[in-house]
Structures are given as structure tokens and as C-alpha cells.
Amino acid sequence: MKFLRYGPTGQEKPGLLDDMGQIRDLSAVIPDLAGSSLLPETMERLMALDIKSLPIVPGAPQKDVRVGPCVGQVGKFICIGLNYADHAAETGATVPPEPVVFNKWTSAIVGPDDEVKIPRDSVKTDWEVELGVVIGKGGSYIEEAEAMSHVAGFCVINDISEREYQLERAGTWDKGKGCDTFGPLGPWLVTPDEVGDYDDLKMWLDVDGHRYQNGSTRTMVYKVPFLISYLSRFMSLQPGDVISTGTPPGVGMGQKPPKFLKGGEVMSLGIERLGVQTQRVIA
């Protein structure tokens, strides 16, 4: 099933996408697609609803109706770096012996089609299409074999990054990753049963119609169950936490010569069975 949040920024309502591509309103069933609404028992109840009995929201999603971030009230936005063997190779890095963990601040989160703003004095703003994992059932020291029972769903993420801030200044990666608008989420939160084989999903990203990223989750080094288990050793995972799992090759930093966003471009990106994002870049 595909869940979503729709409406003006800060006033999003919960909904789901029916088989005809229409939004069905869930406001009478749950307050938001967030927190306890993502627990397994709640998700099971939502998936058992008679969809035809839910109110239709007029207009086409992502055209007539703004679609917001697919998860609300995110507590932690955790990211994994250099997690695709072919992306590590293009950047000249070796695959790390353990996952590289960093954060995007939750203030970076925007809808899948909202504008992306280049930070003041930025010279190296870049793109990264990534598979997002949304936690449904929280926990600590989660066993890898049980990890997928903690997943509410998957989504598309654009892990927008300012490379100078990230790599050429002292300190951690975080300040190049968490600028405002650097975390588009969505359009849909897709339940694991509908996603199927999350280890073999095509993923792509275009800038102004030119395809830069054309990869697959097949080349992910540390897989989703391992990442959930690994992260839960260092922090408790909570319902609504988001994990961004890394990107395939084709980022701007890896082009010859490197190419970065200046403003005025349009990014389009997507992952098989998870939907498409489109963002205009604003200087």
C-alpha cells in the first residue's frame, strides 16, 4: 500500500493512494502519518480498511495537490555514506569496514516536489538519489533476522549535499548535509509487501533531462536489515525515524569535470515502485 501526506506546508493530512491514483483521506482514522500511527498494529489496521469507503481528495497528486514529506514529526534522520561499491569507486574512496553514519537535521525535510534552495555562499551543491527506510516499531539491539519487522515502509530520498561544507572544512559531514530543503522525502511511504525485493530496485536521477545516476540497490554494500541492526547498537530507533541508505554512482562530484547545482535546474529522480520526485533548484 502507498501512504502519503498531502496539503500545504505544515498543514499536511494523512492519506493513501488508491488503485486509480487518487488520494483517499485518512484524517478520520489517524491524526498523521507519524509516530504511533506507524506501529505494526496500526499499519495492519490501515491496510485492512475498505479503501472505497474513504473520502476522495479532488485533484491529481503531485499535479493539482501538493504532496508533502511522506512521514511527519521525524525524530531522527540518519544517513549512511559510501554504501554503494560503485559510488565509492567513483569518489576514489574505499568501502569502509563499518557503515559511515551521519545525520541530516530534521529541518532539512521538505516534500518530494518542493523547491531546493542552494545555501548562501555554496559552491558545490550536489545530488544523491537514495532508498529511504522508515521505522515502524522501535527498539535497541535489534537482531538482523528480526530487522524487517521494524520497518513501516520505504521511500525515495534526495540526499542533497554541499560538498565543500561536507568535505573541505574542518569537522564532520553533517554541516554539508543538513541545510534547509536538503531532505526531500516521498512521494509515497510504500509498505514492504508492495515493494517486494528491496535489494533489486532500479534508481535514477536526472538534472535538466540529462541522466546522471542510473543504478540499483543491488550494489548496496551494507543491506537494510544489517543497517537497522547496526544502528540500533548505538541508539534506540523510534517510530518515524528515517534511514537514508546511500547512493549509486553519478553524483555531481564524480563527473569529469565535476558538476554542481547553480540554481535554475530541475532535478527529477525516482526508485522503482517507490515513485518520482521533481525539484526546481533556487539560487
Average pLDDT, the chain: 96
Look at residue 234 and tell me whether its pLDDT is greater than 80. yes
Whether residue 28 is contained in a domain is answered as no
Spatial separation of the C-alpha atoms in residues 23 and 244, rounded to whole Å: 26
Whether residue 276 is contained in a domain is answered as yes
Average pLDDT over residues 51-67: 97
Contact 186, 2 (CB under 8 A): no
Look at residue 89 and tell me whether its pLDDT is greater than 80. no
Average pLDDT over residues 233-251: 97
What integer pLDDT is reported at residue 133 of this predicted model? Answer: 98
Structure-block grid coordinates of residue 33: 502519518
94 or 27: which leads in pLDDT: 27
Contact 160, 181 (CB under 8 A): yes
What is the distance of C-alpha 85 from the center of its chain? 20
pLDDT above 70: percentage of residues in the chain: 100
Spatial separation of the C-alpha atoms in residues 243 and 227, rounded to whole Å: 9
What integer pLDDT is reported at residue 91 of this predicted model? Answer: 74
What integer pLDDT is reported at residue 9 of this predicted model? Answer: 97
Look at residue 86 and tell me whether its pLDDT is greater than 90. no
Whether residue 8 is contained in a domain is answered as no
Could you report the per-residue pLDDT of 155-189, keeping only the tens digit for each?
Answer: 999 999 999 999 888 888 899 999 999 999 999 99
Spatial separation of the C-alpha atoms in residues 194 and 201, rounded to whole Å: 12
**Residue 247: CATH number of its domain:** 3.90.850.10
Whether residue 59 is contained in a domain is answered as no
Query: Whole-model pTM?
Result: 0.96
φ, ψ (nearest 5 deg) of residue 97? -70, -20
Of the ranges 54-63, 89-98, 166-175, 272-281, which one carries the lowest mean pLDDT score? 89-98
Structure-block grid coordinates of residue 175: 554541516
Structure-block grid coordinates of residue 75: 525524530
- Residue 94 binned pLDDT confidence (cut-offs 50, 70, 90): confident
Look at residue 224 and tell me whether its pLDDT is greater than 90. yes
Could you report the per-residue pLDDT of 11-26, keeping only the tens digit for each?
Answer: 999 999 999 999 999 9
- Residue 6 binned pLDDT confidence (cut-offs 50, 70, 90): very high
Could you report the per-residue pLDDT of 107-163, keeping only the tens digit for each?
Answer: 999 999 999 999 999 999 999 999 999 999 999 999 999 999 999 999 999 999 999
For 82, left (φ over 0), alpha (ψ -120 to 50), or beta?
A: left
Spatial separation of the C-alpha atoms in residues 73 and 260, rounded to whole Å: 31
**What range defines the domain where residue 263 resides?**
72-282
Whether residue 40 is contained in a domain is answered as no
Whether residue 60 is contained in a domain is answered as no
Whether residue 116 is contained in a domain is answered as yes
Spatial separation of the C-alpha atoms in residues 1 and 242, rounded to whole Å: 18
Tally of domains within the chain: 1
- Residue 83 binned pLDDT confidence (cut-offs 50, 70, 90): very high
Whether residue 12 is contained in a domain is answered as no
Look at residue 88 and tell me whether its pLDDT is greater than 80. no
Spatial separation of the C-alpha atoms in residues 81 and 128, rounded to whole Å: 11
Amino acid, single-letter form, for residue 186? G
